């Protein structure tokens, strides 16, 4: 028994279903049998009482005129009452107005005074009955009235109700037979239901074991019950997601290694060419050292970007949220970026529709605006323009970064937020970048419960729309 408990058998669905079915089979019997017995008992008592009262009333005239109440004898009536009392396996008493027994079918208590509340009430004109559960007798008291309508005595009829017990016993034995049949049927149904309901669950559990062992396998679609079908298909969805997460993790690791290796390879080539040749002119030294410096900068930028991404990816990454004046912050960022734009003669225009103060993490939000404006400048043509606008409503603030630059090829638009993705590889290489900027931007916006959307047309320009709630609401982490 202890073993069964420790295996959690009593908490299993199978056991619970079987238990419910057994209860449903047994409880009606336990509840209904006593109720039906009571109902039968009370109906029998009431019917018998009514019949006895009617019979008592039919004897009224004979008793009143017999002279019993004034001490006379009437052997014919005596015999009749005795026969009636015997037929009920009971007793009949005639009591006069002084509560004295004047006739007794047992002839035992004649002359005795009887004081019982039902007789006293009947003396006042009421017909009553009382069922004595202990002796199992029904006692009916009916007033005897004279032709003038005056109560002159009481007729008391006792009737044995033993037949109720006999009938109840018979009823109970039939019910028991019925119940044995019901319990047997419920047990059979319970066992079948137990098997029927637990089989698919056990099947699923086995498939899960296989998945845990092999990791790659899929759970076979379970179509026995809609709920299980739903669970198995959702589970397969989760496995699919886990696989794609795993794939993208592997891809990320190989991308990181590749991106980190590229500047190192360039530096190695530059250094080797300087080391390998004698009498290298000083100008060439200087140029190569500058190139090596550039590659070191590139390596540093990749590492910094990776660190920013990893920090944001960490589950439970915290935002340092404060109320920030967004207008001032954008102006500050643009002041820093304008000199870069001027180098390519790109006009940067900022338009603010209203003052906006929002709850954001200043450092991460700065990354968002910087990346978007930097890209709009980087992927632009000489003499192009970049328009930045800020607006808000009662719930969100909106930033739009628009340029008339290179634009993004249609098939690349959906990938530009992926890590290390760079549209138009040859061009991008010249322009420089890590392919991490928009991935960082998207993560930072998501942390603020915001959204970013892009529209772009090749050779015409791109528009990035950002929407962030004015008030930061921390998401519950389960």
Residues that bind ligand ADP (CB under 6 A): 371, 375-376, 379, 403, 405-408, 416, 421-424, 428, 433-439, 462
Per DSSP, the residues of 104-161 read ETTSSSTT-B---HHHHHHHTT--EEEEETTTTEEEEEEEEE-TTS-EEEEEEEEEE-
User: How long is the chain?
Assistant: 478
Residue sitting closest to ligand ADP (CB): 433
Q: Which residues 6+ apart lie within 8 Å of 72 measured at CB?
A: 66
**Smallest separation, CB 436 to ligand ADP (Å):** 6
Per the CB < 8 A criterion, the answer to whether 384 and 403 are in contact is yes
CB of 337 to ligand ADP, least distance (A): 13
Choice between 68 and 379, CB closer to ligand ADP? 379
Q: How far is the CB of 459 from ligand ADP (least distance, A)?
A: 10
Task: List the helix and strand counts (H, then E) for the chain.
Answer: 11, 12
Quote the least distance from Cβ 408 to ligand ADP, whole Å: 5
Contacting residues for 227 by C-beta, under 8 A, at least 6 apart: none
DSSP strand pairing (347-352 vs 385-392): parallel
| Closest CB to ligand ADP among residues 136, 412 | 412
Nearest CB to ligand ADP, comparing residues 122 and 371: 371
CA distance 120 to 234: 81
Q: How far is the CB of 467 from ligand ADP (least distance, A)?
A: 18
Q: How far is the CB of 427 from ligand ADP (least distance, A)?
A: 7
In angstroms, rounded to a whole number, what is the distance separating the alpha carbons of residues 257 and 212? 30
* C-alpha angle 330-332-335 in degrees, rounded to nearest 5: 110
**Given the complex with ligand ADP, which of 399 and 423 has the nearer CB atom?**
423
Q: Closest distance between ligand ADP and the C-beta of residue 478, in Å?
A: 30
* Cα–Cα separations (whole angstroms), residue 197 to 12, 15, 183, 191, 396: 11, 10, 20, 10, 50
Q: Which is nearer to ligand ADP, 385 or 421 (CB)?
A: 421
Measured from the CB atom, the residue of 116 and 417 that comes closer to ligand ADP is 417
Residue closer to ligand ADP by CB (options 158, 434) is 434
Structure tokens at 164: 């109720």
Cβ 355 to ligand ADP shortest distance, Å:
27
User: For residues 204 and 436, which CB has a smaller minimum distance to ligand ADP in the complex?
Assistant: 436
């Amino acid at each position: 028994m202890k073993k069964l408990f420790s295996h959690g058998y009593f908490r299993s669905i199978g056991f619970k279903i079987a238990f419910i079915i057994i209860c449903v089979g047994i409880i009606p019997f336990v509840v209904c049998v006593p109720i039906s017995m009571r109902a039968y008992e009370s109906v029998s008592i009431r019917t018998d009482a009514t019949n006895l009262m009617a019979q008592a009333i039919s004897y009224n005239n004979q008793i009143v005129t017999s002279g019993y109440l004034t001490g006379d004898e009437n052997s014919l009536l005596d015999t009749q009452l005795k026969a009636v009392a015997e037929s009920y396996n009971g007793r009949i008493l005639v009591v006069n107005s002084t509560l004295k027994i004047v006739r007794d079918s047992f002839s035992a208590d004649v002359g005795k005074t009887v004081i019982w509340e039902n007789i006293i009430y009947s003396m006042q004109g009421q017909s009553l009955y009382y069922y004595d559960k202990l002796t199992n007798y029904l006692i009916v008291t009916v007033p005897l009235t004279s032709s003038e309508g005056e109560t002159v005595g009481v007729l008391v009829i006792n009737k044995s109700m033993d037949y109720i017990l006999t009938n109840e016993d018979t009823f109970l034995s039939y019910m028991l037979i019925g119940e044995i049949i019901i319990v047997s049927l419920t047990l059979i149904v319970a066992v079948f239901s137990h098997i029927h309901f637990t089989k698919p669950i056990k099947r699923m559990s086995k498939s899960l074991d296989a998945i845990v062992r092999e990791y790659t396998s899929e759970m076979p679609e379970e179509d026995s019950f809609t709920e299980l079908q739903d669970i198995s298909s959702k589970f397969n969805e989760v496995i699919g997601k886990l696989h794609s997460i795993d794939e993208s993790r592997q891809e990320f690791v190989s991308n990181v290694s590749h991106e980190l290796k590229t500047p190192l390879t360039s530096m190695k080539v530059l250094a080797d060419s300087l080391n390998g040749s004698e009498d290298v002119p000083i100008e060439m030294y200087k140029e190569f050292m500058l190139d090596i410096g550039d590659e070191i900068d590139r390596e540093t930028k990749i590492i910094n970007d990776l660190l920013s991404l990893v920090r944001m990816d960490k589950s439970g990454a915290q935002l340092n949220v404060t109320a920030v004046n967004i207008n001032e912050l954008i102006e500050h960022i643009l002041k820093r970026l304008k000199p870069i734009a001027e180098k390519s003669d790109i006009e940067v225009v900022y338009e603010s529709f209203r003052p906006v103060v929002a709850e954001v993490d200043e450092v991460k939000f700065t990354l968002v605006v910087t990346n978007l404006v930097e890209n709009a400048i980087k992927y632009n043509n000489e003499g192009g323009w970049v328009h930045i606008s800020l607006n808000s409503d009662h719930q969100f603030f909106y930033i739009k970064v628009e340029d008339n630059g290179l634009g993004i090829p249609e098939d690349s638009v959906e990938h530009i937020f992926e890590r290390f993705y760079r549209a138009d590889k040859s061009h991008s290489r010249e322009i420089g970048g890590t392919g991490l900027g928009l991935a960082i931007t998207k993560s930072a916006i998501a942390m603020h419960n915001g959204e970013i959307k892009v529209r772009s047309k090749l050779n015409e320009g791109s528009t990035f729309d950002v929407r962030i709630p004015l008030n930061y609401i921390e998401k519950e982490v389960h």
